[in-house]
Amino acid sequence: MNTFDFESLTLEEVEILENITGDSIDQAFGNGKPKGKVLKAFIWVVLKRDNPKFTIEEASKFTLQQALAMVQGDEEKKE
C-alpha cells in the first residue's frame, strides 16, 4: 500500500478529519490518542479522491497494518 503525504491534504479534507475526530489534525495523530476513528476517517478522505463512491464503512475494513502503512508518509521528505 502506498504511503500518503499529509501536506497534500486540502483544507477541506483537514476540516472533514477534524470534524469527524473532534480534534485538530495535529492532536488527532498525537501519541497516546485513540487511533481507530482517525485512521478510518483518514483512509476514507484519502481514498475518496480517486473513488468518490468509497464509503467510510469500506474504510473500516482496513487492517491496522494497512492504515498505518498509509499514514507513514514520505520518509525522504522527513529528512
CA angle 17, 76, 10 (to 5 degrees): 25
pLDDT tens by residue, 13-37: 999 989 998 888 888 877 777 788 8
Query: What's the pLDDT score for residue 2?
Result: 57
The DSSP annotation for 5-47 comes to: -GGG--HHHHHHHHHHHSS-HHHHTSTTS--HHHHHHHHHHHH
Residue 1 lies in a domain: no
Residue 32 lies in a domain: yes
How many domains does the chain contain in total?
A: 1
Residue 13 lies in a domain: yes
Residue 18 lies in a domain: yes
With the CA atoms of 37, 48, 65 and 36 taken in that order, what torsion angle do they form, in degrees rounded to the nearest 10? 0
pLDDT tens by residue, 39-63: 999 999 999 999 999 999 999 999 9
Query: What's the pLDDT score for residue 35?
Result: 83
Structural domain for 39, as ranges: 6-78
Query: What's the pLDDT score for residue 3?
Result: 64
